[in-house]
């Protein structure tokens, strides 16, 4: 059965490899990117792997919540339903770590943007659907003041906190959608795979991107993931595993989600 699958950050790395594989299997792939020229090139690459006439693409800067909201509206305007949302886009190292609003860019792109996008697209998704959030083996206790931009963080700590915050809201949303919405799952696709992010941050080639793409295709399509809402899949271990202890603490999860929603309310007015 053909599925409609939306992938953020699909212009390179694991997102691009995943898009190519899903398109080659005949699925309807919706691409997102920030750079219009790069996205157009990638759209052609992915279309070349598919038997479909076209592959849909949408431009948005995920560091701007107004564009995230507009992206969700654009998807909803063009699609009556969505089967899979893969929140793949992420930032580790950047020359401008602080947004004009005074927030850390890693929290904005890695945590806030996928939360907002997911909330806006949930009405398109059935109980058979999937939301896959790309987490990481790098996770660190979330400082709520840091999330609000009140405490500066170096690159690795900001990334690790933002990925734990993502994993925590994954479990919270999964619980809220139980029986009425899609499965919501956090996936560590594999550590130090050869993405642009890894090469720039660590100066190494990294591992085979196919490792990450393979697990995302499996997570998007296989039955085992359809019954795993709220879970954390650690592809370094090749199995579902316990997340960071903070992601098992209901009070800490609630505090993170309340902070996310408060920040988004301020940003969106």
What is the residue whose two structure tokens read 């005074």?
Answer: 102
The number of helices, as runs of H, and strands, as runs of E, in the chain is 11, 8
Q: Quick one: pLDDT band at residue 195, thresholds 50, 70, 90? A: low
Q: Quick one: pLDDT band at residue 192, thresholds 50, 70, 90? A: low
- Span 138-149, mean pLDDT? 97
> Do 259 and 147 contact (CB within 8 A), yes or no?
yes
Answer whether residue 152 shows pLDDT above 50: yes
- Span 49-71, mean pLDDT? 92
Give the pLDDT score at 139: 96
Give the pLDDT score at 269: 86
Mapping DSSP to helix (H, G, I), strand (E, B) and coil, where does residue 171 land?
helix
For 48-143, where are the alpha helices, taking DSSP H only?
A: 65-78, 105-107, 113-121
- In this predicted model, what pLDDT tens digit does every residue of 159-176 receive, in sequence order? 999 999 999 999 999 999
- In this predicted model, what pLDDT tens digit does every residue of 2-39 receive, in sequence order? 999 999 999 999 999 999 999 999 999 999 999 999 99
Domain count, the chain: 1
- In this predicted model, what pLDDT tens digit does every residue of 64-123 receive, in sequence order? 999 999 999 999 999 999 999 999 999 999 989 999 999 999 999 999 999 999 999 999
Q: Quick one: pLDDT band at residue 198, thresholds 50, 70, 90? A: very low
Q: What is the mean pLDDT of the chain?
A: 94
For the domain that residue 197 is a member of, what is the CATH number? 3.40.50.720
- In this predicted model, what pLDDT tens digit does every residue of 208-254 receive, in sequence order? 899 999 999 999 999 999 999 999 999 999 999 999 999 999 999 99
d(CA 111, CA 131): 14
Q: Quick one: pLDDT band at residue 51, thresholds 50, 70, 90? A: confident
Which residue range is the domain that position 107 belongs to?
4-268
Give the pLDDT score at 208: 81
Give the pLDDT score at 196: 62
Give the pLDDT score at 88: 98
What is the residue whose two structure tokens read 């953020």?
Answer: 8
Write out 27-63 in H/E/C secondary structure. Answer: CEEEEEECCHHHHHHHHHHHHCCCCCCCCEEEECCCC
In sequence order, what E strands does the chain have? 4-7, 28-33, 56-59, 84-87, 130-134, 183-188, 232-234, 239-241
- Span 44-69, mean pLDDT? 92
- % of the chain with per-residue pLDDT over 70: 93
């Amino acid at each position: 059965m053909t599925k409609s699958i939306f992938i953020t950050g699909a212009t390179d790395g694991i997102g691009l490899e995943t898009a190519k594989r899903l398109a080659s299997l005949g699925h309807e792939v919706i691409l997102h990117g920030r750079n219009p020229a790069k996205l157009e090139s990638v759209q052609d690459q992915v279309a070349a792997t598919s038997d479909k006439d076209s592959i849909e693409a949408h431009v948005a800067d995920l560091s701007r919540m107004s564009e995230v909201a507009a992206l969700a509206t654009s998807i909803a305007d063009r699609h009556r339903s969505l089967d899979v949302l893969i929140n793949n886009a992420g930032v580790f190292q950047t020359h401008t770590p602080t947004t004009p609003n005074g927030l850390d860019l890693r929290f904005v792109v890695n945590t806030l943007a996928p939360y907002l996008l997911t909330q806006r697209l949930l009405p398109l998704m059935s109980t058979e659907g999937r939301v896959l959030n790309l987490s990481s083996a790098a996770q660190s206790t979330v400082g709520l003041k840091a999330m609000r931009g009140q405490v500066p963080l170096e690159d690795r700590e900001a990334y690790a906190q933002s990925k734990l915050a993502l994993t925590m809201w994954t479990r919270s949303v999964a619980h809220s959608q139980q029986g009425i919405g899609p499965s919501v799952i956090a996936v560590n696709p594999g550590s130090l795979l050869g993405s642009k992010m890894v090469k720039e941050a660590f100066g190494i080639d990294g591992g085979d991107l196919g490792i990450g793409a393979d697990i995302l295709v499996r997570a998007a399509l296989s039955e085992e993931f359809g019954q795993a809402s709220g879970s954390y899949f650690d592809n370094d271990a090749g199995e579902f595993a316990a997340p960071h202890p903070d992601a098992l603490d209901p009070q800490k999860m609630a505090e993170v989600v309340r902070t996310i929603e408060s920040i988004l309310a301020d940003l969106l007015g």
